[in-house]
Structure 1
């Protein structure tokens, strides 16, 4: 890949961002060495690895590979039989521990059986847990070996501690006893590896011992008393034995580690690879990037791509196509309008995609794999370019025109600028025609109108422009494919305050053909904007229609499920009621035969009849499946002779022929049947209501017609409706029921989540003609029904 192109397109800055995501030294080195590939299979594998790492990071977070430090030199020493120091062993141990954590991270959860291309890498990791456990047991820190590393070391250190205690005890007794007056300070100090006491120089003869040091002034001598000389000698000897035992321990650990050199080296390589892969995944996450589709047909289709080095909160996405119906794209428009950014975005996306990196664009963006990318992009744009600048650009162009082929991508920024406009435009057209004839994918930016005409008149060449807002004199940075850019020089000059007469004079110097061409560009740009806006509105309508269809489908499925459940419950209740009815009928027949054969008293017969009546009443309450309406409990004083009543247990109507006795029983004549019934089993039948003139309607023929309120049902079913639908229907129903003089009604809303019930209760609290309301009791529908009483 052309090195100058990598620099011009700022590929190195992407690599810097990638390197920051790696956590190990070797991983960072892999990132720094990353270059775009040209083999499609290799690129595809890298893209899949990046996608797998991206997915894992989103699900489980970013793993750390910071412990995988280079251990290659240590492994070479182990291979030749050398012993490692404690620091080297700890670094190997840390590498293996990091491998263990990485392997645990790589395992899939119990409910997640999805696999990806990273599974083989995680599976190859060998944490060598026994080895790391042994190293950690023996080596506490880089300069500290554990007492438990060996029994010999433990015994040596125990002896050293005992001698240390004796030395301190002996010296403490001397310092605080007989030698106290001879000392500079009552302390115990160390000189070399020997315990000493600070003795005043004038008392040297009073303290027997070995002089190890003296102060700078000579007034203090550091003497090792003879009483501890032997103890210090023993201590020094034990120290030498300790160091010898430590070397034995390190040699043993090194020999154990040498058995796994190949596994450790493999772990290190895999950890480096994983760190490199997850750095790519982290960069994709930070950029909100996606995996591109790759091809070798030279086809590029970027969907709302954002330049990765610009602020993602401010950058305007571009949508661009190249290499499908046309292989040469000419982008025109005013300065600072985003032409160079669009050019660099295409080139940088191509390099990133071929390096296995995701690109910050929408899914299903497509990139082509090129053998080489050539770019001639100036760092600055100026209308005062010198000949030397033109020469440098031409030198660059000539250098790569010798090598370009159909597997190359060529990018020009302000092609032909810096020289006479007529000659520059002619030269630019000649260069672009040469590349177009060879079928080379090319993108160029320019100010020249001649190139706009060339693109309009040449098959396989397309115009594009960066949109410009004349009201604000600012570019919008939107790239419009198929429309050449307008210069807008007169409009910009006028907005900036140039007198109108100068602008009008300038227009006289334009040919009629030039004016017509500029007007055509304006019409094309306006039409393009209108079409794009309409397409966006159509797409929005489609999305809304899909959403409404989905909601309707969900509601229909919910209603079907409720219908099936209600039918099932009704069938089960009906079956149970039929079974109870059959049992009651069988028992009645048995009692009838028994009473006919035996001499049974009337009291016993009445007792049996009362039991049967109660059972029938209970069965009837079950059979009403939510249709029952609670009757008012009457007092004995409510009943009058001749009053019409309904016997609930028999579902018969009759007339009261005797007032209630002391036990609450009344005699009721029901046709030819005359029976004593308790008042709790009776309901007084109200007289037919008298209706007001408002409730009557007169037809055109002068006849009176009853209003529809006379046929109002005592129940309304709101199952399956939304709160708004239910309230609208309930409001009209309550008005009709109230006008029909119904004392109470039943509102069936079901249990469900309780949202419909809550909405209905909130509405009922605000109704002035509602006296009270309550949930249904057992047998009335329970919490699935609300009983409403009117004033």
Structure 2
């Protein structure tokens, strides 16, 4: 790609923006090499990577890119046996941690939305947690080697601290000594050449025993190391040398450990650089509100509401830009400062951005193409890089372009043929456009020449376009109108500015009739184009709204299906657990029956069998085998409290314990559930085992149950049943009754027995003995 074209189209500013958004020096270095590719497959891969980066940015917002350092130099040194500094080792440990964290972050995000390219890049990043922890256990966050890095280093540093303390104590003694007091310039200890010294007055040089290390600027003070600490300082220096050697050994060991993984870490450096670069492109796309373009290599461009990326978002005017499908030449005409050059640069710059793997500031589903070359001859007052070019410099550049152009080229001409005689310039411009047409190049040219409007009108592969101008405000709207040639608007502008009407009429009279008709035709075309554009925008808004609603519906549908799958899975798991529990309880009951049969030699009490059979029935999960219906069969009469019913949608039997409006509380075993009346089906009362007893004093015989089974009842309902059962027993002449409440938690049993204590017809009660149910049964003697 021609470097001059990149500069003229201000591609370098796009590159600088991406560089500034990279988080690490590695990413910035890679962004500095941002360059368009002419290979479609490579561009598609880059675009996909950027799109995945945008997806991560949208889902997570903050991307963990901190802690990445450029360790390539130190890592290469370790492969040659070199030793690294503590800071270099710490940077490598930080990068290992940053890589591991970013890799996990990407894998977690991949579960929400597939990121095949980013995951593939991150796969080369090694974990190496043990290497990182080894480095951090030896080097602290300030890049200092820790005492705990080795037992030998801990011992040496302990001796150093002891030696420092001894030297300090000795010096403190000298400073406090009255014999030395008059010799000292000040009561302090200073360091000279890494030796501890005291400031001694010059006149006491011969009286103070020690080694002179320095002298003050005035010459009045000597800095002397007292003889008493010389040997201790020597010992200290020896220990410090041992410390340095031990630190070197530790750093060499850690460097060797890093060196074993150097090649993997170098690969990781490249991966981290690429990921940082991709996220920089994604961040830039987010800032521009850019979208991924559909790429082709056929020269087709169709950008919807394209915006120049270097113009502030609140100022730039979007335009629809097309080329290469119905026409290969776009001739843009219109007044100066109307936005023709911006349109031209938008064509070129967005093409280069797309070929670099960057998303472009345009609406979704915009189309861009790869080209082998993008040529541009742009020299205008609006460019800060260059001033207005002369005809000669323009033509020199055009000659260079025509030498290399082919069907895989995009050519951009600003004011083609300008700077010379208008007649000759227009003729030259048309000849150049004919040459480009024959070569098959895709071309956009801006011009002032009216002759080129006719050329574009008569040429099947060309089309006119113009930038809209608001005559009322005397300002350009910067909006491109494809299919409409530009008008000068000279008369309208002059009239708005106050030029005499008679002069304007005189000027109009001098125009040829066909010129007036063409101007009128263009004006009508503009009006029709604007009306059609407004209708298209309305249709586009409706389309976007429908797409948004469809996307929302699909999202809700997906969430519903996901939730449904989860509910079904939970239900299946609960059913499996219920069956397993029932099977386990059934086995326990069978074993209990066998044990009782063995103990009682087949003479099992009837109520024990009833109790165990009921437990067996209750342990089996009630699985619906009938096809469920929405409503139960109508009952022959209104449902009442105490009715035995079937809950249709559960396929479970129970008793109504409470009615409230159109709802009923149904007792199903030990569980209560609230259901609507139309979900209940009346069943005949289940008959209990009975016997015939004779009432007292010749009362009529009454059929009574053998016992009252209260299992599954709460205390309040149980007491009601007990009270009624005692009344029936008294009428039937029964002196003893059995109340089965089960063992359970004891709440029902205690509540029933508390009630029996206060009942006036209860003489006494006790627990059942062996063969009667034990603590699960209360035997009551009536008065």
Q: TM-score, normalised by structure 2?
A: 0.69
| Matched position secondary structure for 1:419 | coil
Pair 513,184 (structure 1): closer, same or farther in 2 beyond 3 Å: same
Deviations 1:144-183 (A, max 9, x none): 3211111111101111111111111122122112322332
1:736-756 deviation per Cα after TM superposition (whole angstroms, max 9, x unaligned):
xxxxxxxxxxxxxxxxxxxxx
Q: 1-side partners of 2:482 and 2:24: how far apart?
A: 44
1:219, distance to aligned residue in structure 2 (A)? 2.4
| SS of equivalent residue, structure 2 residue 364 | coil
Cα gap change, 1:370/1:182 in structure 2, threshold over 3 Å: closer, same or farther?
same
Answering whether residue 580 of structure 2 is matched by residue 580 of structure 1, we say: no
Which residue of 2 is the match for residue 562 of structure 1?
none
Shift of 1:577: 7.2
**1:370 matches 2:365:** no
Counterparts of 1:538 and 1:63 in 2: how far apart (Å)? 38
Is residue 229 of structure 2 the alignment partner of residue 169 of structure 1?
A: no
Residue pair 1:201, 1:218 contacting (<8 A) in 2 also: yes
- Equivalent in the alignment of 1:240: 241
Bigger CA drift: 435-444 or 514-523?
435-444
Q: 1:125 is paired with a residue of what secondary structure? A: coil
Structure 1 residue 317: Cα displacement: 0.2
Q: Matches of 2:520 and 2:496 in 1, distance apart?
A: 19
Q: Is the 8 A contact 1:301 1:365 kept in 2?
A: yes
Residue 67 of structure 1 and its aligned partner are, at CA, apart by 3.9
TM-superposed CA distance for 1:92, in Å, is: 2.2
Using a 3 Å threshold, how does the CA distance of structure 1 residues 526 and 196 change in structure 2: closer, same or farther? same
1:250-280 deviation digits (Å, cap 9, x = unpaired):
1111111111111111111111111221111
**Structure 1 residues 100 and 5, CA gap change in structure 2 (3 angstroms):** same
Are the aligned partners of 1:189 and 1:196 in contact in 2 as well (CA < 8 Å)? yes
Q: Distance in 2 between matches of 1:524 and 1:319?
A: 17
Q: Distance in 2 between matches of 1:68 and 1:276?
A: 12
Aligned to 2:318: 317
CA distance in 2, matches of 1:520, 1:476: 21
Displacement, 1:63?
3.2
Q: Which moved more, 1:406-415 or 1:176-185?
A: 176-185
Helix, strand or coil: the match of 2:13?
A: helix
Number of the residue aligned with 1:291:
292
1:688-741 C-alpha deviation (Å, 9 max, x unpaired): xxxxxxxxxxxxxxxxxxxxxxxxxxxxxxxxxxxxxxxxxxxxxxxxxxxxxx
Kindly state the Cα deviation for residue 106 of structure 1 after the two structures are TM-superposed.
Answer: 1.7
Cα contact 1:577–1:623 (8 A) shared by 2: no
- Cα deviation per residue 1:326-353 (whole Å; 9 max; x = unaligned)? 1111111111111111111011111111
Deviation at 1:410, TM superposition (A): 0.9
Q: Which residue is equivalent to 1:156?
A: 156
Aligned 1:47-446 pairs, distance under 5 A: 47-63=47-63, 65=65, 67-109=67-109, 112=112, 114-140=114-140, 144-178=144-178, 179-380=180-381, 389-446=390-447
Relative to structure 2, which stretch is displaced further, 169-178 or 392-401? Answer: 169-178
- Aligned partner of residue 404 in structure 2, secondary structure: coil
Q: Which residue of 1 aligns with 2:467?
A: 466
Give the direction of change, closer, same or farther, for the CA distance of 1:160–1:452 in structure 2 (3 Å limit). Answer: same
Q: Is the 8 A contact 2:26 2:70 kept in 1?
A: yes
Q: 1:84/1:56 Cα in 2 relative to 1: closer, same or farther (>3 Å)? A: same
For residues 515 and 289 of structure 1, the distance between their equivalents in structure 2, rounded to whole angstroms, comes to 43
TM-score, normalised via structure 1 length: 0.68
The change in CA–CA distance for 1:617 and 1:213 in structure 2 (over 3 A counts) is closer
- Give the structure 2 partner of residue 448 of structure 1: 449
Inter-CA distance 280–570: structure 2 relative to 1 (3 Å threshold): closer
Tell me the equivalent position of 1:13. 13
Matches of 1:154 and 1:124 in 2, distance apart?
A: 38
Tell me how far 1:514 sits from its aligned partner: 0.6
State the shift of 1:35 in Å. 1.5
Cα distance in 1 for partners of 2:252, 2:663 equals 92
CA shift for structure 1 position 522: 0.6
| Contact 1:387/1:418 (<8 A) preserved | no
Cα distance change on mapping 1:575 and 1:436 into 2, 3 Å:
farther
Aligned counterparts of 2:406 and 2:211: Cα–Cα separation in 1: 90
* Distance (whole Å) between structure 2 residues aligned to residue 434 and residue 39 of structure 1: 26
User: 1:107 Cα shift?
Assistant: 2.1
Contact 1:574–1:623 (CA under 8 A) maintained in structure 2: no
User: 1:114, CA displacement in angstroms?
Assistant: 2.6
> What CA distance in whole angstroms lies between the structure 2 residues aligned with 1:434 and 1:446?
17
Give the corresponding residue for 1:481: 482
Rate the CA distance shift 1:423–1:133 in 2: closer, same or farther, 3 A: same
Specify the SS of the correspondent of 2:117: coil
Q: CA 1:450–1:308 in 2, change beyond 3 Å: closer, same or farther?
A: same
Task: Give the superposition deviation at 1:196.
Answer: 1.9
Match of 1:518 in 2: 519
**C-alpha contact 2:90 2:143 (8 A) present in aligned 1:** no
Task: Give the whole-Å Cα distance in 1 for the aligned partners of 2:90 and 2:552.
Answer: 62
Change (3 A) 1:141 1:509: same
By how many angstroms is 1:460 displaced? 1.9
> Contact between 1:108 and 1:114, CA under 8 Å: does it hold in 2?
no
CA contact (8 A) 2:26 2:69 kept: yes
**Pair 1:540–1:237, CA change in 2 (3 A):** closer
- Asked if 1 retains the 8 angstrom alpha-carbon contact of 2:56 and 2:109, the reply is no
- Once residues 538 and 65 of structure 1 are traced to their aligned partners in structure 2, the CA distance between those partners, rounded to angstroms, is 43
Question: Residues 141, 221 of structure 1: CA spacing in aligned structure 2 closer, same or farther, 3 A cutoff?
Answer: farther
What's the offset of the Cα at 1:531?
Answer: 2.0
Distance 2:100 2:553 in 1: 52
For 2:662 and 2:198, how far apart are their aligned partners in 1? 108
Equivalent pair of 1:466/1:478 in contact (CA under 8 Å): yes
